[in-house]
Amino acid sequence: MTDLESDWSADSNEATHISLATPGHVLHTFNPKFTYPIFGEEERIFGYQGLKINLKYHASDMRPVLQVTYNKKFKAVGDTEPTDLKKILEDFLPKTAFEKTTDFEAAIESTSPDWEPPGELWKTIQSGAKTFEVWKGSLADMPIQQMVKRIQILVPFFIEAGTLLELREPEWSLDRWTVFLLYQKTTENHAPKTSPYTFIGYSTCYRYFLYQPTTPPSSPPAKRQQVVPASSHDITFPLPEIKFSALPCRSRISQFIILPPYQGGGNGSRLYNAIFDYFLQDPKTIEITVEDPNESFDDLRDINDLSRLRLDPEFAALKINNKCSVRAKGPIPSDIVDTDLLEKIRTRYKIAPRQFYRVVEMQLLSLIP
């Protein structure tokens, strides 16, 4: 790094501060994990000394205000100019983001205490004295879309290689997406004029066609829309004459984030299980999958899938066949466990084969004395 760069550049992860606020209070402030999708591979911002990028959110409706402060700004010399921060961040924030803290404060002061998250209430989860709610809605619905525009910058901030959703797609395509929002609801001891909702995290999920060429394959093309088993082909585009939301599908968790101050306390599990419960009762979902899970999401998924399956008497009663000995890698053979039974359990819980057999292996290993 040259002297010019070291004097005038800042680490973009350290310079960026995200806060959650209620009227007159800042609840939490934290830094992003990644900023390279926004400020470039080096994660450095040129042209400022004492730079602070403050992205403050109203903790309930997640309306943001963006404030950039610094002690000194570099005076452009030829092509060497300070990074245009507002221009760069514009692509990641809603057009309605406030620019002045005073406007933001006034807006959040006037938020009705009766404000409710967008979409519809899917689940209320009581955990000790704490109440959580999961709200859900289609990305084709305006209030959900507005929410996604406010919070989508969290994807590049916290998910490695995470990208923003394309919101300019036609309605049928947006309607493939369901957004789940996790909130904590304070029912006691909260200021009466403020909203009881605090945003904790969210997840986006989309539906994938399951397409089955008719059996036998010689059936006429008119039967194209006949669909189903998980083993059949995925189709990633709609057949024009078919109402997409009416078709059996795989439902895939795409982006999943719990805000850092709320991680490690079971919130990821609460949201994951609520999503899982939703797709389990959805008759159109044949299988629940996850797009590019990272290691921590794999852990979360394993722990929760195993806990769920252990409540099933047939799964809990699984035994390793005495005849079996140490085996090589590969699918679990039927001389070790009853594979027909396993397949019955797997389809009942809509878990994708690879994930299911991973969890079965965890269960079987836990049985070895």
Are the C-beta atoms of 39 and 45 separated by less than 8 Å?
A: yes
Yes or no: say if 253 and 289 are a contact pair by the CB < 8 Å rule: yes
Give 255's strand partners: 204
Q: Which is nearer to ligand ACO, 80 or 127 (CB)?
A: 127
Instruction: Determine the Cα–Cα distance for residues 99 and 69; give it in Å rounded to an integer.
Output: 12
296 binds ligand ACO (CB under 6 A): yes
Distance CA 41, CA 318 (A): 49
Give least dist CB 10 to ligand ACO, A: 23
List active site positions. 291
Give the one residue of 215, 264, 307, 361 binding ligand ACO; rule: CB under 6 A: 264
Q: Can you say how many angstroms the Cα of residue 66 is from the centroid of all Cα atoms in its chain?
A: 23
The structure tokens 């999920």 sit at 205
> Under the criterion CB under 6 A, does residue 268 sit at the interface with ligand ACO?
yes
Instruction: Give the start-end residues of each E strand in 147-217.
Output: 177-185, 197-211
Q: How far is the CB of 301 from ligand ACO (least distance, A)?
A: 9
Q: Which stretch binds ligand ACO (CB under 6 A): 132-140, 278-286, 292-300, 325-333?
A: 292-300
Our finding on whether 256 is near ligand ACO (CB under 6 A) is: yes
Give backbone dihedrals phi and psi of 10, rounded to 5 degrees, phi first: -130, 150
Nearer to ligand ACO, 107 or 352 (CB): 352
Per the CB < 8 A criterion, the answer to whether 202 and 151 are in contact is yes
By beta carbon distance, the residue nearest ligand ACO is: 268
Binder of ligand ACO out of 300, 318, 342, 351 (CB under 6 A): 300
As a whole number of Å, the CA-based R_g of the chain is: 24
CB nearer to ligand ACO: give 274 or 337.
274
Q: Contact at 8 Å (CB) between 354 and 305? A: no
DSSP state letter for 75: P
Assess 265 for contact with ligand ACO (CB under 6 A). yes
Q: Which string of x and - marks every residue 311-350 that binds ligand ACO (by CB under 6 A)?
A: ----------------------------------------
Residue 194 one-letter amino acid: T
Identify the residue among 16, 267, 285, 355 touching ligand ACO (CB under 6 A). Answer: 267
Residues 6+ apart with CB under 8 A from 237: none
| Residue type at 40 in one-letter notation | G
- Residue 148 contacts ligand ACO per CB under 6 A: no
20 binds ligand ACO (CB under 6 A): no
Give, as ranges, the residues between 152 and 191 that touch ligand ACO (CB under 6 A).
158-159
253 contributes a contact to ligand ACO by CB under 6 A: yes
Closer to ligand ACO by CB, 9 or 267: give it: 267
Judged by CB under 6 A, the number of residues near ligand ACO is 23
